[in-house]
Chains A and B, each alone.
Chain A
Amino acid sequence: MLSVRNIAKTIGPFALREVSFDVDTGDYFVLLGVSGVGKSVLMEILAGVTPAARGSIFLDGVDITRAPMQHRNMAAVFQDPALFPHMTVARNIAYGLHGRNLSRREITERVRRLAVEAGADHLLTRYPGTLSGGEAQRVAMARCLAVEPRCLLLDEPLVALDGEARAAMRSLLRKVKRKGLTVIHVTHDYEEAISLASHVGILEAGRMVQVGSPRQVFQDPKTPFVARFTGFRNCFAGRLTKDAGHGKAVFVTQSVTFVITTEDTAGTGHVVLRGQDVSLSRTEPPHGTNALPGTVVDLIPAPEGDEVIVDTGVEISALLPHGRAGSPKLVPGDRVWVAFAPAAARFIKD
């Protein structure tokens, strides 16, 4: 198990403030955060490249906070694969195997096995300068897996790849996950996180604001930032006021009032709502709860449908999935009604 306790560090604009989390052995832990939040600094601290200003790191109960990086047994793949340019792919993969009491044959066999696993067995005699970005990244993975690290650190390994290369790398990462290796994977892409993580940690302004399974984090965001980051398109600041009965409460944002389902007590906070939970119609919907008239101000095509921004006093984003039967053809300026169920909205208390 990897335990990170109260890690703090400031490097230029990046500041980590008392970051703590645990990663169980065999867990695929995705550290999610926007660019510039200090994810890579945290990764460098874990790898031993950069010392932490404060805090401790324990790997299987051993304090490795000050251990030199070569003794940490945590191999790292960074955005840049950093393959050694003067060595062939085979020698790159074998690099960490020398000095481990392995015979030449064992080394050759292990290199071949890992190259096959990484889909790089046809590249063994090539030099890194001749590889594509995806090939280089897969070789870098094989090189790290060769040393059988206790923990694999991945810093945005997919960010520089596109299309097919990204898919191939992702499939390799899933293979690694199935092997039961402990992985810490840093990314700013929440879809990448959903597809790989067994646990997700979200870094916001240098702090770990939420840790949990992807389902917990994406369904029950603990801060407005987490909500926006994980696809809640609507986020309203306001005040939860009086109890509307049946576990429902009234939330007032600017001049608009919503009824939402929450157990929280009155106070200021945010209501977050997914675009796909908001329905649109030309006429007033029969169930009056949270039905608001407004004007279409913008239509934004998205992969999963059209995002419609409606001004109801506050701007509400609704997602109209492609090909939904009877969906109204809308243009900016159209008068429409938006509606959502009280249970679809989530209140996040300040």
Chain B
Amino acid sequence: MTGRWRSPDPMHLVFSFLGGVVLLFILAPLVGMAFHTPVADLADTAADPEMRRSILLTLWTSLAGTLLLAVCAIPFAYLLARLTFPLKRLILAVVDLPIVIPHTAAGIALLGVLSRDSLIGGVADRAGIPFVGGAPGIMVAMAFVSVPFLVNAARDGFSAVPERYEKAARSLGASPLRVFLTISMPLAWRSILSGLVLMWARGLSEFGAVVMVAYHPMITPVLIYERFGAWGLRYARPASVLFVGVCLLIFLVARLLARDRLDAER
């Protein structure tokens, strides 16, 4: 790699410039927003109980949604990595569906299943689990839009585990479940973990689907939107900076985990 930089190719120079434009495109608004926010405002916002409640709510609903769905998503990802079956490509496309559909539309679709008039929503409401306008609904909306990240990362992780380890374990008398828990999962663990963090982070930043299902209690993206609508840019900005900081921290952890990914081959 270093050799390439000794005599820069004109094409590489142009491509580097274009890359710089992309980086600027991503960073300029964020850095600009941070610079436009007085520290005093940031401190006030951080001390605001409503803001704190909202950040906490956002963090735990996304985390809970992630962990609850992981119970199904991780075994599902294993199947997708190991088996070939008819319509597999269709199923893979279905998994990616939440990424491509407009999230407000996803919210509307979820409302159809979760509202009190629907079968599931009605039963849940009578059991004291209010989906619409409640934390469970927020969890579902967040998980809906973010679960493809976990399934895909875990599937990649399982695919990277050579099958010969699983076969060796089976020939030593281990059941398929034991092989999954003691061989496949530990060897794919880094990918699964990075998928979990990605799903969590993606859930945190969801607005469209959540706002359809539960405007209240307010998760931070909704709170930012509300502050902007009611009071304008100046009041929305500190909340945004604070929340972006939280998201970045989580993203940083995710990158650190993904780095040094344990090579199953070692």
Q: With A and B bound together, what is the CA distance between A48 and B168 in angstroms?
A: 11
Q: Is B264 a contact of A85 with CB atoms below 8 Å? A: yes
Q: Is A84 a contact of B172 with CB atoms below 8 Å? A: no
A160 interfacial by beta-carbon distance below 8 Å: no
Q: Is A86 a contact of B186 with CB atoms below 8 Å? A: yes
Q: In the assembled complex, which residues on chain B have CB atoms less than 8 Å from the CB atom of A72? A: 171
Q: With A and B bound together, what is the CA distance between A144 and B172 in angstroms?
A: 7
Q: In the assembled complex, which residues on chain A have CB atoms less than 8 Å from the CB atom of B183? A: 84
Given A78-B164, A80-B164, A95-B266 contact (CB < 8 Å): no
Q: Is B171 a contact of A75 with CB atoms below 8 Å? A: yes
Q: Is B174 a contact of A82 with CB atoms below 8 Å? A: no
Q: With A and B bound together, what is the CA distance between A80 and B187 in angstroms?
A: 18
Nearest B residue (CB) for A44: B167
* Residue from A85, A96, A129, A146 within 8 A of B174 (CB atoms): A96
Given A85-B266, A86-B187, A70-B174 contact (CB < 8 Å): yes
Q: Is A70 a contact of B165 with CB atoms below 8 Å? A: no
Most chain B beta carbons < 10 A, residue from A47, A95, A127? A95
Most chain B beta carbons < 10 A, residue from A78, A84, A128, A146? A84
Nearest B residue (CB) for A100: B173
Q: A58-80 interface mask toward B, CB cutoff 8 Å, 1 = contact, 0 = none?
A: 00000000001111111110101
Q: In the assembled complex, which residues on chain B have CB atoms less than 8 Å from the CB atom of A147? A: 172-173
Q: Is A82 a contact of B187 with CB atoms below 8 Å? A: no
Q: Is B186 a contact of A69 with CB atoms below 8 Å? A: no
B265 interfacial by beta-carbon distance below 8 Å: yes
Q: In the assembled complex, which residues on chain A have CB atoms less than 8 Å from the CB atom of B266? A: 85, 127-129
Q: In the assembled complex, which residues on chain A have CB atoms less than 8 Å from the CB atom of B167? A: 47, 49, 69, 76, 82
Q: With A and B bound together, what is the CA distance between A246 and B38 in angstroms?
A: 116
Q: In the assembled complex, which residues on chain A have CB atoms less than 8 Å from the CB atom of B175? A: 70
Q: In the assembled complex, which residues on chain A have CB atoms less than 8 Å from the CB atom of B186? A: 86
Given A86-B187, A128-B266, A69-B168 contact (CB < 8 Å): no
Q: With A and B bound together, what is the CA distance between A245 and B127 in angstroms?
A: 103
B170 interfacial by beta-carbon distance below 8 Å: yes
B178 interfacial by beta-carbon distance below 8 Å: yes
B169 interfacial by beta-carbon distance below 8 Å: yes
Q: Is B169 a contact of A85 with CB atoms below 8 Å? A: no
Nearest A residue (CB) for B164: A82
Q: With A and B bound together, what is the CA distance between A100 and B178 in angstroms?
A: 13
A39 interfacial by beta-carbon distance below 8 Å: no
Nearest B residue (CB) for A127: B266
Given A85-B266, A128-B266, A129-B266, A143-B172 contact (CB < 8 Å): yes
Q: In the assembled complex, which residues on chain B have CB atoms less than 8 Å from the CB atom of A75? A: 171-172
Q: In the assembled complex, which residues on chain B have CB atoms less than 8 Å from the CB atom of A153? A: 171
Given A85-B187, A86-B187, A69-B171 contact (CB < 8 Å): yes
Given A82-B165, A85-B264, A70-B173 contact (CB < 8 Å): yes
Q: Is A84 a contact of B169 with CB atoms below 8 Å? A: yes
A13 interfacial by beta-carbon distance below 8 Å: no
Q: With A and B bound together, what is the CA distance between A82 and B168 in angstroms?
A: 7
Q: With A and B bound together, what is the CA distance between A140 and B178 in angstroms?
A: 19
Q: In the assembled complex, which residues on chain B have CB atoms less than 8 Å from the CB atom of A288? A: none
Q: In the assembled complex, which residues on chain B have CB atoms less than 8 Å from the CB atom of A127? A: 266
Chain A nearest Cβ from B193, distance in angstroms? 14
Chain A nearest Cβ from B175, distance in angstroms? 6
A99 interfacial by beta-carbon distance below 8 Å: yes
Q: With A and B bound together, what is the CA distance between A289 and B182 in angstroms?
A: 70
Q: With A and B bound together, what is the CA distance between A178 and B211 in angstroms?
A: 74
Binding site for B on A (CB under 8 A): 47-49, 68-76, 78, 80, 82, 84-86, 95-96, 99-100, 127-129, 140, 143-144, 146-147, 153
Q: List 13 A-B contacts (CB under 8 A).
A: A49-B171, A70-B171, A70-B173, A70-B176, A75-B172, A76-B171, A80-B164, A84-B165, A85-B187, A95-B182, A127-B266, A129-B266, A147-B172
Give the 7 A-B CB pairs with smallest separation, nearest first.
A96-B172, A129-B266, A82-B168, A85-B266, A82-B164, A76-B171, A69-B170
- Excluding A73-B173, A84-B169, 16 further A-B contacts by CB distance (< 8 Å) are A47-B167, A49-B167, A70-B174, A80-B164, A82-B165, A82-B167, A84-B168, A84-B183, A85-B264, A86-B187, A95-B172, A95-B174, A96-B172, A99-B173, A143-B168, A143-B172
